Structure 1
Amino acid sequence: MNGSDFNREWEDGLTPRMRQLFAETAERHSLHLEWNETAPVEVACDYPAQPGLDFRLWLTLSGDEFVCGGEGWSAHIFPVDSDRNWQLTVAVVDGLVTGEARIVLYRWIGRSRPYWTVLQLRSDDGWTNVSTGLGCALIPVSRSTIVRNGYQDQVARLTVAWGSIIAWLLLIIGGYLLFLL
């Protein structure tokens, strides 16, 4: 079996494995699960907010990309067709229900939707980033909110969004240099 045959076999097996993961997680934690058979992806389901889950959580498999999300956020693991990323996906799905995974949402002042999302798993020494979004705050002052099942949301103080300041400076400098050329 060559490498492309192995990858094709793995990808063909992803859809039933992902469906089984979502169903078994719901069963293990006594959660209600709703399948979305009309979504334009291989597998899509929704765990509504319910006893045992503080927030709505949707999970999908699109090709070989796992996507999870909730109110105003999403996170990705790509590609899922390796043992390492599959195990990471299993840990994330279970962790989002048990509280062993959390979402950190960064919002700039005056906005309810985050400009940046970080999905983290608990590790021995704190939290490890699994998926980080990409974004830039138009106003370089932000506030983060930690969303974790079984815990009250934690809202941080206002902080300077240094990454956004650097991005704006690079954009301004780049524009200036283009103007000079």
Structure 2
Amino acid sequence: MGSSELNTGWDDALIERARNLFADTAHRFNLEYTWDETSPVEVACSYPIQEGLDFDLWLSLQGDEFVCSGKQWYATIFPADDEYKWDLIVQLVEGLITGDARLALYRAIGWSKPYWTEVQLQIDGRWASVSTGAGCAIPPVVRPTIIRNGHQPELGLFRPALGSLSLLLVVIGLIYWLWN
């Protein structure tokens, strides 16, 4: 048996595992879902907004990367074949439905699309980020919106986007250095 045959068996098992997770979760929580056969991924499923789910949810597996997303946010967990990571994926999928997971969407002042997203699970009574999406906030002042199924969205306080502010200072320093 060649290594490509071994990889195919491994890929097929992970795809089947993801497919079962997506379908079983929908059945357990009485959610409607559709298989997305058009996306260029191994398996993808979407749950529309419905009773029991306050936001659209799209789940997929591409290779050994798990992706979940919705309107203006996404999260990835890699590698999906790692048992610890797979447990996080299961907790995340179920938590997004039960409210035991939440989204923190950080928007720069004047922007409707978040520049940074965090997907968080409640672990040992605290919210812990399990995936982040990155960007740069201009202007470097942000306000988070917390989205959690079954709860009203919460607006956080305005605060500096320290990473974006640091990057802005580096760029200004480089421009100053180049002009002198």
Q: Per-residue deviation at 1:157?
A: 2.1
Gaps of 5+ in 1: none
Cα distance in 2 for residues equivalent to 1:112 and 1:19: 33
1:13 paired with 2:10, answer: no
Provide closer, same or farther for how the CA distance between residues 5 and 175 of structure 1 changes in structure 2, counting only shifts above 3 A: farther
User: Residues 96-132 of structure 1: CA distance to partner in whole angstroms, max 9, x if unpaired?
Assistant: 0001110100001111110000010001131111001
CA distance in structure 2 between the partners assigned to 1:168 and 1:4 by the alignment:
46
1:50 matched residue in structure 2:
50
Equivalent in the alignment of 2:142: 142
Give the structure 2 partner of residue 122 of structure 1.
Answer: 122
Task: Encode CA deviations 1:41-68: one digit per residue, 9 max, x unaligned.
Answer: 0011110000000111111111111111
> Cα distance 1:178–1:14, how it changes in 2: closer, same or farther (>3 A)?
farther
- Partner of 1:25 in structure 2? 25
Identity %: 53
Deviation of 1:8 (Å): 5.7
| Residues in 2 aligned to 1:66 and 1:178: alpha-carbon distance in whole angstroms | 43
Spell out the pairing of 1:1-181 with structure 2 (5 A cutoff): 9-178=9-178
Partner letter of residue 16 of structure 2? Answer: P
Aligned alpha-carbon RMSD (Å): 1.9
Unmatched runs of 5 consecutive residues or more in structure 2:
none
Measure the CA separation in 2 of the matches of 1:177 and 1:6.
54
Runs of 4+ off more than 6 Å: 3-7
Q: Cα offset for 1:9? A: 4.2
TM-score when normalising by structure 2? 0.92
Q: Structure 1 168/4 Cα, relative in aligned 2: closer, same or farther at 3 Å?
A: farther
* Letter in structure 2 aligned against 1:12: D
Instruction: Report the Cα distance in structure 1 between the residues aligned to 2:179 and 2:42, rounded to whole angstroms.
Output: 47
Q: Distance in 2 between matches of 1:100 and 1:47?
A: 18
Aligned residues: 179
Paired residue type of 1:121: L
TM superposition score normalised by structure 1: 0.91
